[in-house]
Amino acid sequence: REARVYSWSPEHELSYYLIHGLLHLVGYDDQTPSERISMRRKERSVMKAIGLPAPPRRRPKTTCHQR
């Protein structure tokens, strides 16, 4: 569902979630606006480094606790 919202493949969406989760495991957080900006930059950097397209910049501002 999210892949359709952001107009990219389900495989890229899964890759995004894996990278996002791994970043949490190594200490990144996205609870505040500044943390969210830092994490989004790192997500884009990692995805670029492994040859994947950058995630859409319009990611939702919600967290799993708000859904």
pLDDT in tens, 2-54: 777 767 888 888 999 999 999 999 999 999 999 999 999 999 999 999 999 88
Residue-level pLDDT at 37: 93
**Which residue is listed with tokens 């949490």?**
24
Given pLDDT bands bounded at 50, 70 and 90, which one contains residue 67? Answer: very low
**Interhelix angle for 33-49 vs 10-25, to 10°?**
120
Residue-level pLDDT at 5: 73
Give the residue, 16 or 1, on which the prediction is more confident: 16
Residue-level pLDDT at 10: 86
CA–CA dist 42, 27 (Å, integer): 12
Contact 13, 2 (CB under 8 A): yes
